[in-house]
Structure 1
C-alpha cells in the first residue's frame, strides 16, 4: 500500500522520534519537532509511538490514498479536509479508497503530524527514518516531499486492523469515519500564539549578570525569520555575562537556550548540533517543547522559571497520561468504545 503526494506543501518531511545513538560521531538526532503530537497520532492508529509519519509545516500537502487507510492528524491546526469533510484533530479517521487529504489555512500552531496505519515505510538509516535535510539523509531520499512521490506504507498490525474494522462498521455513505473516542483535553498541550514556556536554570546561568538573568524571565523574545528546525534565533533584551569566558564545548539537547556573543539567545530545536560552546542560560522543560515547536516565526516567547523537581514532576504526569491513553486504546481495540 502507498500514498501519493499530489502537492508537497511548503515543507513536508518524513519524521519519527529521532536518530539516537550516533551523536558521539557528530550525527544529529533530528526527528519530529513536536514529538508529543507524532506519538499521539501514531497511538491513535495503532502504531508504535516511534513509527514514521509526516511532519507538515504551515502549508500542507495534498495526498491521495488509493486504498482504504486509517489515519490521524495531530498537532497544529492546518485545517485538514478529507474528501471535502473537515477532519477533527486528535481522533482516528478512516480514509476510504480513493480519498484526497488536503490542508487549508493555519488556525493554530504551524506543524501538523499525519500518521498512517503501518507507518511510512521509508528506508531506515542509522536506526531511524527521520529526515535530516542539511545532510540529505533519512526520510524520503533525504529531502522534503515532492509532487509525484509515492510513499510506501508498512504492513498493518493486529491493532491497525482492529481499529479499522471497528470504525468501518460506523462509516457513513461516503466511507469516511471519525472515531467517537478522542484524547482527553487535559493531556493535550496548551497550544497558543506567543507561548509561555517553563525552563530550568542552565549549566552556566550563574555566569550572567544579575540584571540579565532577571530580564530573561521578565521580557518577551521574538522568533526571528532566520529560525529553522536547527534553532530558534530570538530577538529581545541583550543578555550579558559578568565577564568574558572561554568555555569548552559540551553536550546540548532539544530546548537548550544558548547565548552567543551578541547577547541574543538561541533555543536549540530538533536538528540541533551535538555540542555547543556558547554559555547555556536555561533549558526548556520537556513538557513545553511542543509549545515551542508550534510557535511561528515572528511570534513572541516568554520564559518562566521552574525547578528541576517541578520539571520532572510535570514530565512524569504527562508520561502517565500517555500510558493511560495507550491502555484505553488497547481496550478499544478489544471492542470497548468510549472517550479516551
Structure 2
C-alpha cells in the first residue's frame, strides 16, 4: 500500500504537529504551517488533529494511490480533480487502487493539506514525521517529495462520505488582519515607526519561506534603534532589521535573533501566515493579551466540538 508522486508540485512535504518543546536546543517546532487547516482535515477523517499528512505549497502535485483509502483536502483552494471528476475542499474523497488526485491552478491561500485515513509507514525523528525543510531531516528522506517517490502506507481504512459544516470552511480570499501583542522592544521604536507599522500597507516578499515571512513596503525608521543582545524567538515574532522591513518568524525560524521585536502575532493567528502568497497584502491590529488568550480558547473549542458535529 502506497501513494506514488506523479508530479511533485513546488514544495509538497510530509508534515504533522512538529517538534514542540525543543527551542532550548535550537530546534524550531516545524511541522504544518497551517495547523488549523491540517486539524480540520484530520478531524473530518476521524484522525487526531496532528496526524501526519501532506502539505502542498503554491503549486500542487498529482498523486496516485495503490490502495483503497479516504482522503480530504483542506486549506488553500486549488482546482482539484479525482481522476477526471472535479472535486472540492473540505469533503471526504474515496480513493480506490489506481485513482489519482490532481491539483490544478491555485485559487486562494497558499498551502493545502491532504489528510489520509491511513498512516505513513515511516520512522519518526524526534517523535515526529514532519519534514524540517531548512534543516533537511524528517519526512521522506528529509526533503520535499519528487516525481517517482513512492511513500508506503499502512492501516488504510474507509470513512463515510461527509463534509465539514459551513462554519468550518476557511476563506482566504479577503485581505488578512493579523492580531498582535506588543513585542518586548516595542518601546524602543519611535511613535512614528509604531504608527506606520499599524497603518498597514505591507505585502509578502517573494523571499519568504518556512523560516520567515519577509515583508515589503515602506521601511520603518530603524536608524536610531539600539543594538541588543540576541534573544529568544518563536513563530509569530515580528523583528525589524536595520533595513526597516519587518520579518515574521515562522515555523522553521531561528530560535534566537538580535533584531528588536516590535510585535508578536498571537498564537491563534500564526496559522494564517501559512496562507499568504507572495504579493499578498496584510494589516496588523494590536490586541490585549486577554483577548489573545480568549481567541485561542475559542479556536480550541471549535476544533474540540467538530467531532460531535460530524
Same fold (TM over 0.5): yes
Change (3 A) 1:151 1:264: same
What is aligned with 1:71?
Answer: 71
Shift of 1:20: 2.0
Q: Give unmatched runs, 5+ long, in structure 1.
A: 168-178, 329-339
CA contact (8 A) 2:222 2:243 kept: no
**CA distance in 2 between partners of 1:313 and 1:207 (Å):** 28
Match of 2:209 among 205, 228, 242: 228
CA RMSD of aligned residues (A): 1.7
What is aligned with 2:218?
Answer: 237
Shift of 1:190: 4.0
Shift of 1:304: 1.4
CA contact (8 A) 1:32 1:55 kept: yes
Change (3 A) 1:287 1:20: closer
What is aligned with 2:190?
Answer: 209
What is aligned with 1:47?
Answer: 47
What is aligned with 2:263?
Answer: 282
What is aligned with 1:327?
Answer: 308
CA contact (8 A) 2:17 2:50 kept: yes
**CA distance in 2 between partners of 1:34 and 1:241 (Å):** 31
Q: How does 1:261-300 map to 2 (within 5 A)?
A: 261-300=242-281
| Larger fraction in strand | 2
What is aligned with 2:299?
Answer: 318
Q: How does 1:73-88 map to 2 (within 5 A)?
A: 73-88=73-88
Q: For this pair of structures, how many residues does the alignment match?
A: 310
Shift of 1:270: 1.2
Shift of 1:248: 2.2
When the two structures are superposed, what TM-score results if normalisation uses the length of structure 2?
Answer: 0.94
Shift of 1:213: 0.6
What is aligned with 1:251?
Answer: 232
Deviations 1:161-195, CA, capped at 9 Å, x for gaps: 5x2xxx3xxxxxxxxxxx3x432333444422532
Where 1:105 maps in the other structure, the secondary structure is strand
State the 4+ residue runs in structure 1 displaced beyond 6 angstroms: none
Q: Give unmatched runs, 5+ long, in structure 2.
A: none
CA contact (8 A) 1:14 1:55 kept: yes
Tell whether 2:11 aligns with 1:7. Answer: no
**CA distance in 1 between partners of 2:264 and 2:167 (Å):** 24
Shift of 1:306: 1.4
**CA distance in 2 between partners of 1:154 and 1:273 (Å):** 34
